Amino acid sequence: MKYIPYSRQLIDKKDSKLVLSSLSNDLITTGPFVEKFENNLKKYLKCKFSYVCSSGTAAIHLAMLSLNLKKNDIILMPAINFIASYNMAKTMGLKVYLVDVDELNGQITPNKILECIEKNNLKKINALIVMFHGGYPENIKKFYDIKQKYKFFIIEDACHALGAEYKFKKNFFKIGSCKHADISTFSLHPLKTITSGEGGIITTNNSKIAKNIKLFRSHGISRNKKIHWLYDIKKHGFNYRLSDLNCALGLSQLRKINFFLKKRKKIYTKYLNELKKLHLNLKIPEYSKSIKPSYHLFTINILFDKFNMNKDHFMKYLLNNKIITQQHYIPIYKFSIYNEKKKSFPASEKYINNSVSIPIYVGLDKKKQERIIKIIKRYFINKKK
Ligand SMILES: Cc1ncc(COP(=O)(O)O)c(C=O)c1O
């Protein structure tokens, strides 16, 4: 029996065909597939500007650069997130304040942001990074209200949330439409909603920010429009471009995004129905009706201390049954690179002690999912409620 991974990309013949065709173009980078992919993303997300880049991490870096954030500027971000946003902020010399998360869904909440501002007596905040953990974009309206009050930029680390939507007043908007954030960033890593191999997307509706993104993405080069061999360097930029090969794959995958999302929703719904009433000490965060998730992760929370057990034991039990699970993510304050004094994040502690991501991906068929459910159910047999 083969191991069931916690996630896996789905690549088909159409994907391969388009990637192969991109190789016959004159330009295999900065060519027609880049433009087409960016245009299609713009239409799909309904934003004014959409740029691709070499990774989700690059997208986050470009976001911080293009907002002109500078040394000692204050930025707030979740205590639990993939390390990319923290690393990028620190390389830029920003002053980072970590915000505790909700103990069940692992996301920052409006209250936790306000708590962080008060506790640290922050007067001027330059930016807030929000992350839609697992692809469930809650609280956008409230984040937006706090932004209006404190006048900071919002960068959405939406790497889990391509395809997700949220309701604002009466209408639904796609994450990435940037209607209530300054910049959204996405990852096109193989395990995300769609993939380009490696890659990232950055979107905004602000033309000044857009101009900066383009400059920083390619060495800060500004070309003379009439004489092609003349150019100036306007920024200390990077090479964060994405090749046409990657964009051809991304474009082909984008054509299937609705099918991908539907498949993920089906898997999510089956898990929820089968597991939600299984045991009092098994908690599954349920999302509000004002969002349409991308179902990137399915996370369960088990109150292990009630069974005198820990998470490692459960993850090993699943592994012994050929099911690979994951934890998202080890809190940032636990890493050696974190050298701030404040390490008290009680809800993040609970979240990381109890939460496990179980397999969810487009290719997870009914038989495999039923096996996962059966093995999880078996864990709870004989455990008193
Ligand atoms: C929430 C989050 N942010 C940022 C990133 C970084 O994206 P990439 O791996 O494309 O650089 C990831 C990727 O795993 C992520 O999950």
247-277: pLDDT as tens digits: 999 999 999 999 999 999 999 999 999 999 9
- The token duo for 114 is 């306000």
Asked whether the beta carbons of 195 and 249 are under 8 A apart, the reply is yes
The overall average pLDDT reported for the chain is 97
Same fold, 13-254 and 257-380: no
Calculate how far, in angstroms, residue 157's C-alpha sits from the geometric centre of ligand 1: 8
Query: Would the CB of 50 count as within 6 Å of ligand 1?
Result: no
Query: Would the CB of 160 count as within 6 Å of ligand 1?
Result: yes
Calculate how far, in angstroms, residue 83's C-alpha sits from the geometric centre of ligand 1: 8
Mean pLDDT throughout 96-110?
A: 98
Angle between helices 110-119 and 140-150 (to 10 degrees): 30
pLDDT at 313: 95
Topology classification of domain 257-380: Aspartate Aminotransferase, domain 1 (3.90.1150)
Query: Is pLDDT at 1 greater than 90 in this prediction?
Result: no
Query: Would the CB of 82 count as within 6 Å of ligand 1?
Result: yes
* pLDDT per position as a tens digit, 195-210: 999 999 999 999 999 9
Calculate how far, in angstroms, residue 90's C-alpha sits from the geometric centre of ligand 1: 16
Domain ranges for the chain: 13-254, 257-380
pLDDT at 296: 98
The dihedrals phi and psi of 201, each to the nearest 5 degrees, come to: -135, 145
Topology classification of domain 13-254: Aspartate Aminotransferase; domain 2 (3.40.640)
Query: Would the CB of 100 count as within 6 Å of ligand 1?
Result: no
Asked whether the beta carbons of 201 and 213 are under 8 A apart, the reply is no
d(CA 174, CA 40): 14
d(CA 338, CA 354): 23
